[in-house]
Amino acid sequence: MTEEMQQSEQVSGERLPAVTVGLFGPRRLVKTMSEVGQEVAERSVNGVRFLTGGYDDLSEAEERYLRLRDRIDAAVFPGPWAFDLATTGHWLTVPSTHLPLTGAALYAALLRASLTITDVDLSRVSIDSLSLADVSEAYSEIGLDTAQVYDVPYEGPESVAGFAAFHREKWERQHTTLALTTILAVERELRADGVPVLRIAPTRSSVRDALETAVLLGQGTRMGAHQLAMIAVQVIPTGASRAESGDYWQQELALSTHQKLLSEARQVGASVTRRSDTLFLVTTTYGALLRLTEQFAVAPFLGALTAQLGVPVAVGAGTGQTARAAEANALMAVEDSVAAGGKVAVYLDGSSDRVDLEPGPATTESAPADGTSPIDQRALEIVTSIASAMSSAPGRQVVVDVESVAAIMQVTQRTGRRMLKELVEAGLAWPLPPARSTAGGRPRQQFRLLTEKLD
């Protein structure tokens, strides 16, 4: 960061959010990335952390990424192939970049070849992944002829399958003295076949550039996640309900809607305000909105409120540069949802096209005659057992986490997590805001048991 940028930040009195960047690739390369990352972190004034996801084979890449995805704000991949596989495989969840494979990496590979391989002729080599323009420019800079230099560029994941055969064919026909590849699997295959091979690896300078780019992407993610978002919820009384409704019925419906919204919104730390008997505003963040909508796949609140209230509900969500803009977009969106009869929720951000969100799957199980569904009865048994084991003083709140529930119920933590989810869905537990650990790492999620409902 330049001195001018630091001064600007000090004048504004604001700090950019700290970010966590995931580093993925072959273990040896990830080790280099981590070393460079330490230098980047030491120079950062906003706090940067790098988590490593090294692997021995590309088939392990997805598993390594998924292990870290909930803890990172951005990711760096070893090259365009791994980056494209993550994109086309639909398991990429954060803004990402990859290490550039340019002329600088080729210079370094050619220099290593001249120093470590006897009788190598650098004017008779085969090269994959780099463009012809990059190869020609690099050879021109060092004064070598490219007449017997063979190049096959990267043109998508499918092109990688032919790299090994390309190098092998040139070597067997004695057209080349060395193969230069960017792909670890290709290097291993050629080495096993006895073909002289050297891997083109990014320079530390290009690694540093990629990591600094990822930090900027991560900061954008964190700032975007904290952007203000509004959700407008409009109750749509039916014709029959209007005919039989009076002030008391309207107030009863408004109170019920407010209570149910509070219960739903509390799970993501949102606040609810009542604008009228039929209109409510939920104030939250863009990150929370992503969780509520499951990455804009389902409508927030729509299905649950419609089923619980017994009347149609319209939902509109909006974001903007200011709170006023977010509210305006949410109110325009809810009008569109009303026009659709509450069949879909609508999202508007003032710049992109309207996004329609379908309600999530509704439960169709009927409740037994006593009004308590099987899952509610099970939840009551669970919360009673936990509360009894905690033996807290009368009137004192009972707060638990996954580990304590698993220990009390003598189950695995996975089952303990499922039990807590059942309690939340049954309205017998509230998720509390995660408390940051002094030792670092992911905050532990705690839940308050609503033991007052047992009375």
Same domain, 236 and 334: yes
Cβ pair 20, 71 in contact under 8 A: yes
Same domain, 118 and 28: no
Rg of the chain on CA atoms, in Å: 29
The pLDDT value given to residue 152: 95
Question: Does residue 91 lie in a domain region?
Answer: yes
Same domain, 219 and 232: no
Instruction: Provide the CA 93 distance to its chain's centre, in angstroms.
Output: 4
> How many structural domains does the chain have?
4
Cα separations in angstroms, 221 against 21, 100, 163, 365, 433:
11, 22, 36, 40, 20
Same domain, 195 and 212: no
Question: Does residue 367 lie in a domain region?
Answer: no
Same domain, 254 and 152: no
Strands 313-319 vs 345-348: parallel, antiparallel or unpaired: parallel
Same domain, 125 and 21: no
Instruction: Single out the residue in 223, 257, 274 at which a domain terminates.
Output: 223
Q: Angle, to 10 degrees, between the axis of helix 374-390 and the axis of helix 402-409?
A: 90
Same domain, 344 and 392: no
CA pair distance 345, 303, nearest whole angstrom: 10
Identify the H or E element spanning 314. Answer: strand 313-319
Same domain, 181 and 287: no
Identify the H or E element spanning 137. Answer: helix 132-141
Same domain, 253 and 333: yes
Residue 427 carries which DSSP code? T
Same domain, 278 and 391: no
Q: Model's pTM, two decimal places?
A: 0.51
For residue 248, count other CB atoms closer than 10 A to its CB: 8
Q: Range of 92's domain?
A: 3-99+204-223
The pLDDT value given to residue 374: 46
Query: What CATH number has the domain bearing residue 143?
Result: 3.40.50.10660
The pLDDT value given to residue 153: 93
Instruction: Single out the residue in 330, 357, 384 at which a domain terminates.
Output: 357
- Which regions of the chain are under pLDDT 70? 1-17, 221-226, 238-250, 321-322, 352-353, 360-376, 391-396, 432-444, 452-455
The pLDDT value given to residue 221: 67
The pLDDT value given to residue 15: 47
Same domain, 95 and 135: no
Instruction: Single out the residue in 302, 324, 357 at which a domain terminates.
Output: 357
Same domain, 19 and 80: yes
